[in-house]
Structures are given as structure tokens and as C-alpha cells.
Amino acid sequence: MAANEDQEMELEALRSIYEGDVCFRELSPVSFQYRIGESGDPKAFLIEVSWPETYPQTAPVISMDAFFNNTISSAIKQSILDKLMVEVEANLGTAMTYTLFEYAKDNKEVFMENQPVNTVTSVSNSISIGTPEVPPSKKKEKKEQLSKTQKRKLADKTDNKGELPRGWNWVDVIKVNKVKSDSKCLSYTRHEYLHPALVSCVRLNMLYSCPLLLCLSILACGSYRCCV
């Protein structure tokens, strides 16, 4: 049987055996990879087997140069290749790719026993990066400060007991405004301080025409401003 016919038969056998196996990868009809060990295993490694034209009458090419093996020391890689080549010599002239993959799986622990395991210790619990949280300080409420002039005016309004008279902060009740027609009218802003009778007068605009009512409203409110 010609060499290429042997390769075709072995190719069909490999595809059938490793169908659905995530560790197996067919790079080409004459080149294959197999991952030995589970994903995430620090001692997992990848071997690649390629067939020359005269395979299986001649030895296949076995490589561990894949990026997956970058964490493995050169000494360990060479040791694994040497052990695999012993199996190649024992199986020369027959289909051996499956045999090599299974041999590596069975001897994984022996092959990697001298490979140091790199462990990463989490220090997130002991070291904090960034600015530490500082509890917010309580802001003191700033009291409104009165000027000297405001304090003096306030003192002038107090009686001998230090109390402010009733109505000291009331707004002006009666205002005389000039309207567009140059006629004078009264406007009132705080009727609640007036006697009910005066409120009626305010609504009827009678205060301006009645001096007596005007005087009564001034006495009741304590404030009057006249604007012409």
C-alpha cells in the first residue's frame, strides 16, 4: 500500500475517533494538535504531529513550539519529545498518531512532574489601591451675620425690655401710585392687619377721599408711604 493511502486511512480513523473532542485539532490533512490536560490546568501542554510524505515508513515530526507551551521550561519540553520519540521508534511503519496522543495522555503527570506551578496570590484583601475613603465631615451651618448698621437699626426699634414692638416688620399697607391717566389711586398689600370695616373701605377706594379713614388705617398699620 502506498504511503499516501496509509495516511488517508489514518486520517479517516483520527476524524472518527476524535470527533467532538475539543482537545483535538486538525490543522491540515497531514498536521494535527492535541491538548494534554484540561483548559486552565497549569500542567497542561500541547503536542503537534505532522506527517512527511513518506510517513508512516519514516518518523513523523513532533513539535511543542505552540504558544500554548510558553510557560513550560525548555528542559521539560525536550524531555517530553525524547520520550515520544522512543514510542515513534517502537511503532515505525504503522499508523501511530493516535498512539502518540494516548501515550502522552497516560503519562502526563510523569512528563510534567518537574514543571514548577506558577501560582498568583491575590492581595486584594490586604492592599487597597487608590485614595482611601474618608467619611464626609459635617459642615457647620453658617449663621447669618448682621452688619453694624443692621444691628443699630434693630436696637433702635426695641423697647426697654429688649423686645420688638408689634408690627415692626410689617410692610407698608397703603401706597399711593401714579397711573397712566395721572389720577391717583390707593393700593393695599396687607389687609389682614386692618379692621374689617377698613378693609371694606380699602376695596372701595374710599381711604384716599376720606382723611379720617386714612388716619385710622395709618394708626392700625403703623406705616404709611405717600407717592405722587
pLDDT of residue 101: 96
**CA-to-CA dists, residue 132 to 40, 124, 129, 137, 207, angstroms:** 35, 14, 8, 15, 71
pLDDT of residue 135: 58
pLDDT at 221 over 70: no
pLDDT of residue 69: 93
Residue 24 near residue 32 (C-beta atoms within 8 A)? yes
Q: pLDDT tens for residues 49-99? A: 999 999 999 999 999 999 999 999 999 999 999 999 999 999 999 999 999
Q: pLDDT tens for residues 3-17? A: 588 999 999 999 999
Whole-angstrom distance, CA of residue 198 vs CA of residue 216? 8
Copy the grid coordinates of residue 217. 388705617
Q: pLDDT tens for residues 27-37? A: 999 999 999 99
